[in-house]
Structure 1
Amino acid sequence: MKLSLALLAACSDALIAPPAPKPTKTQLRAVAAPQDSYKITLLPGDGIGPEITTATVKALVAAGKTKGVTFDFDEQLLGGCAIDKEGTPWPDKTLKSCQAADSILMAAIGGPKWDGNPRELRPETGLLAMRQQLGLFANLRPAKAIPQLLDASSLKREVVEGVDIMVVRELCGDVYFGKPAGIYTDDAGVRWGQNNMIYSEPEIERIARVAMDVAQKRQGRCCSIDKANVLDVSQLWKDVVIRVHGECGQGVELSHMYVDNAAMQLVRWPKQFDTIVCGNIFGDILSDEASMLVGSLGMLPSASLPSEGPGVFEPIHGSAPDIAGTDAANPLAMILSAAMMCQYDLLQPDLAKLLEDAVEAVLDAGYRTRDIVNEGNADETLVGCKEMGDLVAAKVAELAA
């Protein structure tokens, strides 16, 4: 596609913001009352996804049995596996299953197999479409130091011990969705790549309200991340966050930090943070950085929530195709994601706590997957993905007895 620079500039100048989302009156969306049975859409995805999904389902079913709660699982395709079987990363029947579900439990997608595909046939395109079509605007990513794994962190014990951070990331806007976007060739044959960092006031307002609500339920401190010294969109972000804080942030201490400084402070003094709120691209980077404070991406869950309807719960790690099929994957992040699902979507806090306690007890007993084992420590036992899932399921039953 050829596009002159003059026309490209005109398109940018005339850019119309995407339709503004309807502001929500409450910070976190209301969900139905607890039930005895739930419809769960499973999205195992690619790479290690099917392995950690199997382990997680076993632990979740075991937890449900202790409270008389059952799950009706509907497994669907998303990502690379969907491209291979359906010719699209986000099939219509997957969308319909998700819309009809009480909640959605996802593993991981992607891999080098599809990296050379055109943009519309890449696994990540399906993920972005899912977020947009299901309205998953609020991504919650906890980074909490696990006492049993402090030595697995690349930072000193005294730096990470006691770290407990919640990253609240806006998920439906920013450069990932801003238009126009693409790669263009000018009249001189020079290629240009363009993406637009864009936010509307209502988009910022709704994620800021979530952040204030989360901070009020935690330690009452919220740090908003921006780059307002050079970016107009960040100045709007900062202005709106300040306004929302004044409207509904009672009891919350609000601070602001440039994203480059935040990246440094996360490794310098992470315990200064409680709740962090940020846009899509800044949150993508900072939440992955925060995850390494606890030693492994394989330990961290996440929740992606809409204003209404089912949320999506997934580990923040990738599909790790290099270890797929070797039983070396760590299923604990996905099991903890299932715990978040019980907490936020299913209104089953007892099940959430049971899964979390079971994971902690298994770690206390010294069981480790390859990514978190401390070789040479005689108190630790290396186990595979399947056995780790079995251990957690067994511990769930033991704790509930």
Structure 2
Amino acid sequence: MATFRILVTPGDGIGPEVMEEALKVLGRVQQRFGHEFVYDEETIGGAAIDRYGVALRPETIAKAKASDAVLFGAVGGPKWDDPRASVRPEDAILGMRKQLGLFANLRPVRVAPELIGESTLKPEVLQGVDMVVIRELTGGLYFGKPKRRWENAEGRQAVDTLRYSEREVARVCHVAFQLARQRRKKVTSVDKANVLRTGQLWREVATEVGKQYPDVELEHILVDACAMYLVRRPASFDVIVTENMFGDILTDEAAMLAGSMGMMPSASLGRRRKDGTGIGLYEPIHGSAPDIAGQGKANPLAMILSAAMMLRLSLGLDREAKAVEDAVDAVIREGLRTPDIAGPGAKVVDTRTMGSAVAERI
């Protein structure tokens, strides 16, 4: 029996609700496949600010580093929504990624045939959509210095610095090409090389890395064009790789292809072992959704699918991951819907019912 240590950080808003369902599903995986998942739980985000005065404690980082993987719920909410505050809930996710050396965020986008009708796009546009967007996590505007606000005679001022190094660009591009080799062998590198010096560096390095993968097609697209193509011809993409802020924006746009952010998992990865596994942080991209917290309306499928990514990418449990993904597909085929993906006449269920349905089908 294999034993794995997992750090659980439910966070704020709907984070605890969807986390409960993911753990329910993982409990079923333990029973069926004979593994042991040992959990540590830590308070993060706004809840940690209220309790400890900081969004992320050093003790939490220490537990994360001692774990095989981190399951992350969501952070934030109106209570802590002051952009000028010295401590913010988002410090938890940014700090965790940085301290664990996680530099590549993988966000798969696959449109279930049964949900095509729930999208605002024409069905023919969504046929065959199956892509992964890889967002660089450690550079760019989120971390570049100087970063500050001030006031002078001309009024309020602010600056953020967009900075990238060759090393940062190269390592995330390698992840993209290696993943593309396992898929349809096409990488789309997204930049703003016609305006930004960092975009020019990005394009140069992506091209150099691409030469090491002659079996993979490489195309370069400007970010504004990519935003258009995501709604015009999304099925043409296989693996998209881009910098931090562009990736943040484009993946939220891509989430609408699947009908809801409630269907979108993600994995943040760092250096990998020879067997392809390694520490990772797994979270749904939907955020804390405080407007529906505690109402049983949250869709747990993105959190459950994030747990499936954890099984595969950090724990090396491919068969178990596939079982979870197949269970999610099954409940969708059977017509179960949370409010965010429910069309007219759909069988609407609450968060717990959806989680239990997935667990029962493993």
> Which deviates more from structure 2 when the two are superposed, residues 124-133 or residues 139-148?
124-133
Look up the SS of the partner of 2:339 in the other structure.
coil
- Bigger radius of gyration among the two: 1
Pick from 119, 122, 146 the counterpart of residue 180 of structure 1: 146
How big is the shift at 1:117?
6.1
Q: Normalized against structure 2, the TM-score is what?
A: 0.97
Equivalence for 2:137: 171
How big is the shift at 1:304?
0.1
Q: 2 CA distance for matches of 1:257 and 1:203?
A: 19
Pick from 63, 77, 89 the counterpart of residue 43 of structure 2: 77
> Letter of the aligned partner of 1:344 in structure 2?
L
Q: Deviations over 1:179-224 (max 9, x none)?
A: 00111223x2522110011000001010011111011111011110
Q: Deviations over 1:86-138 (max 9, x none)?
A: 11001111111111111111111111110126443111122111111111100
Look up the SS of the partner of 1:302 in the other structure.
strand
Look up the SS of the partner of 1:120 in the other structure.
coil
Equivalence for 2:14: 48
RMSD: 1.1
Pick from 307, 312, 322 the counterpart of residue 281 of structure 2: 312
Pick from 301, 315, 335 the counterpart of residue 332 of structure 1: 301
Identity across the alignment (%): 48
> Which deviates more from structure 2 when the two are superposed, residues 200-209 or residues 118-127?
118-127
5+ long unaligned stretches in structure 2: 273-277
Pick from 156, 180, 189 the counterpart of residue 122 of structure 2: 156
> Letter of the aligned partner of 2:187 in structure 1?
C
Pick from 253, 263, 270 the counterpart of residue 299 of structure 1: 263
Equivalence for 2:104: 138
Equivalence for 1:354: 323
How big is the shift at 1:64?
2.1
Look up the SS of the partner of 1:387 in the other structure.
helix
Q: 1 CA distance for matches of 2:111 and 2:83?
A: 38
Matched, 1:233 2:198: yes
Equivalence for 2:228: 264
Q: 2 CA distance for matches of 1:48 and 1:87?
A: 21
> Letter of the aligned partner of 1:382 in structure 2?
V
> Letter of the aligned partner of 1:287 in structure 2?
T
> Letter of the aligned partner of 1:389 in structure 2?
G
Look up the SS of the partner of 1:393 in the other structure.
helix
Q: 1 CA distance for matches of 2:82 and 2:208?
A: 44
Q: Deviations over 1:139-174 (max 9, x none)?
A: 000111111111111101110121011101101110
Q: 1 CA distance for matches of 2:169 and 2:210?
A: 12
Equivalence for 2:218: 254
Q: What aligned pairs does 1:79-98 form with structure 2 within 5 A after superposition?
A: 79-98=45-64
Equivalence for 1:6: none
> Letter of the aligned partner of 2:164 in structure 1?
Y
Q: What aligned pairs does 1:385-400 form with structure 2 within 5 A after superposition?
A: 385-396=351-362
Give the number of aligned pairs.
Answer: 357
Matched, 1:37 2:6: no
Equivalence for 2:239: 275
5+ long unaligned stretches in structure 1: 1-34, 397-401
Pick from 198, 204, 209 the counterpart of residue 244 of structure 1: 209
Off by >4 Å, runs of 4+ in structure 1: none
